[in-house]
Structure 1
Amino acid sequence: MEGLLDHGLRDILTRVGGVDRCVSEFIRITDQLLPARSFTRVVPELLRGSRTRAGVPVRPQLLGSDPVCMAENAARLAELAPAGIDLNFGCPAKTVNRHRGGAVLLGEPELVHAIVAAVRRAVPADVPVSAKMRLGVDDEARLLDCAHAIDTAGAGELAVHARTKAHGYRPPAYWESVARVRQAVRLPVIANGDIWSVDDAARCRQVTGCGALMLGRGMVRRPGLALAIAAQGVRAAEPAASYGDAAVAALPWRRVVPLLADFWRDVCTRVERRHRAGRLKQWLNYLRVAYPEAQQAFDALRLVNDPEAIGAWLLSIEELPALVRRAPESENVQ
């Protein structure tokens, strides 16, 4: 999720709870041995024990097509004591695929095997190596070939996005195909794709047989989604008021507002001034699917690009939850 779910948003989302592990945006490997700063720039959590401030492990992800270069860079990355190393065979972006990276490699299971095996040999045994793949390039003809290639090469986990490269992100996600992979390999399989709600998570687990789920855009839309999924079967979820949404009930808007404010403060410390407003609007654009209040916020800021004006507006809405909490006490005093 390059350009969206970076370390700043990881830090915010993992505070909410329910997340066991994160995978970073991909780090592109070409023909060079990258310096340590190239890894810590994308995954600054490496400087904090490879964990977010909330203590959630972060696994850096590498993307490339040369087994030797991938192995050498994985070895360099391993020196920084990552929580693991993930390999990207799932990115459907045309620019990435044109340069032989991501999902396009699923047409070459032998190369996929060589990359995973080279990385596994290059890093210490105590550094987990995992991979993410799609169902194929244009179809599923080589789905199981690629899954077996990753399995036999020594990966410890496999996340499967339930679409081909050609599908992009268009619905539906083909969870039945993830079940085929799970039944065909020995390593644990993690299901990914179109998990937008607690109900989706339950159906995905039922169809795929996978206990572990990977959340992407669903978590950005509903920051309480992982928390609500984790609570499923442990305790009854609270009613979701008028929204009918367990993830929103787990994290109502009044609790999202401080996260938005913290996200904005972080953006202002590290993003160029001219791009700051866009980053906040990008997240609000996702949030408005689940929160009516986010739609109102998006509308209010649609034409605003001045960081000071946005900061003042956020400060005003950040104070609202506190006022709401104080209201009953004030009424009792009267």
Structure 2
Amino acid sequence: MEGLLDFVLRDVLTRVGGVDRCVSEFIRVSGNLLTDRVFLSYIPELKNGGRTLAGVPVRAQLLGSDPGCMAENAARLAALGPEGIDLNFGCPAKTVNRHGGGAALLREPESIAAVVAAVRRAVPAPLPVSAKMRLGYDDAGLARECAQAMEQGGATELVVHARTKADGYRPPAYWEQIPAIRAAVAIPVVANGEIWSVADALRCRSLSGCDALMLGRGMVADPGLALAIRAHDQGQAHQPLAWQALLPQIGRFWDLVCADLEPRQRAGRLKQWLNLLRRRYPEAQQAFDEVRVMTDQRVITAWVRQVADQ
């Protein structure tokens, strides 16, 4: 989730709880051997044993199409100690696809197999190498072949975003198409896409046959979603995360943004998160309306302090 689920939100969301593992924003590999500094800029958690400050492991995600270059970068990244390496074959962005990366490779199962195999050979055997895919590019005609290519290349786990590249992020997600992929491979399959609530999670599990779920925008919009799903699984009564309980995390988020991001990025990142929170919290609408017109960091900081202290 480029430009959204960065290390700042990973820190805040894993503090709320319920998350087993995170995956970084994708790191684009396009012909150069990236430096440690680049990897650390995407995944500062590598300085903390590959975990968020709440102790949740972070898997590093690479995106690219050249097997040799992907392998070299995976080897360098693996030396920094991530929880694992994840390979992105699902990004629908036009700029990425135009250069043969992300979902564009879903038209070429043999190329997928080559990339996965090269990365698998390049990193230590105990290090997990997983992959994320969509159902396909224009349609799901090659979904099983792509999944099998990832497995044959050495992937230990597969996440399926249940839409094609052509679908983008438009609802619905076609969870009912995941069982055919599960039947085609022996590795664990994780379902992803359009999970905004506990009810969505239960329906996704029922239709996909997957026990494990990857939460994306749904977790950003409702930071208590993973906890709620876990409570349901354990048969426990669970109160949704209240807006009042979330306010200290918004304060921490702003502090981290101001400490770690460029000044020009700071106001936009807070507005971006509040915009998504509106989907779950009516109170976020008023907060978004108030912050939307602010640009001065000092003014926003005063607003955050006032709100967080309520």
SS of match in other structure, 2:51: coil
Partner of 1:148: 148
Shift of 1:262: 0.4
Question: Which whole-Å deviations, capped at 9, do the CAs of 1:24-71 have from their partners, x for residues lacking one?
Answer: 000111111111111111011111110000000000000000001111
Shift of 1:306: 1.1
Residue 244 of structure 2 is aligned to residue 254 of structure 1? yes
Kept in 2: contact 1:228–1:237 (CA 8 A): no
Partner of 1:237: 237
SS of match in other structure, 1:132: strand
Runs of 4+ with deviation above 4 angstroms: none
Question: Which whole-Å deviations, capped at 9, do the CAs of 1:113-132 have from their partners, x for residues lacking one?
Answer: 00001111111111100000
Shift of 1:271: 2.0
Shift of 1:78: 1.1
Kept in 2: contact 1:285–1:295 (CA 8 A): yes
Identity level (%): 65
Indicate the larger mover: 273-282 or 56-65: 273-282
Partner of 1:61: 61
Partner of 1:85: 85
| RMSD of equivalent CA atoms | 0.9
Residue 145 of structure 2 is aligned to residue 120 of structure 1? no
- Structure 1 unmatched ranges of 5 or more: 239-248, 321-334
Partner of 1:304: 294
Structure 1: how far apart are the matches of 2:186 and 2:281?
A: 41
SS of match in other structure, 2:233: coil
Structure 2: how far apart are the matches of 1:37 and 1:7?
A: 15
Structure 2: how far apart are the matches of 1:49 and 1:307?
A: 32
Structure 1: how far apart are the matches of 2:237 and 2:292?
A: 34
Task: Provide the TM-score with structure 2 as the length reference.
Answer: 0.98
Residue 275 of structure 2 is aligned to residue 285 of structure 1? yes
Structure 2: how far apart are the matches of 1:120 and 1:133?
A: 17
Partner of 1:136: 136
Partner of 2:94: 94
Residue 309 of structure 2 is aligned to residue 319 of structure 1? yes
Structure 1: how far apart are the matches of 2:303 and 2:263?
A: 17
Shift of 1:275: 2.5
Partner of 1:274: 264
SS of match in other structure, 1:204: helix
Kept in 2: contact 1:237–1:250 (CA 8 A): no
- Structure 2 unmatched ranges of 5 or more: none
**In terms of Rg, which structure is larger?**
1
* Cα 1:150–1:33 shift into 2, 3 Å: same
Partner of 2:49: 49
Partner of 1:264: 254
Shift of 1:235: 3.2
AA partner of residue 292 (structure 2): R
Shift of 1:281: 0.6
Structure 2: how far apart are the matches of 1:265 and 1:233?
A: 34
SS of match in other structure, 2:26: strand
Shift of 1:233: 3.1
Q: Give the alignment of 1:15-34 within 5 angstroms.
A: 15-34=15-34
Shift of 1:270: 2.0
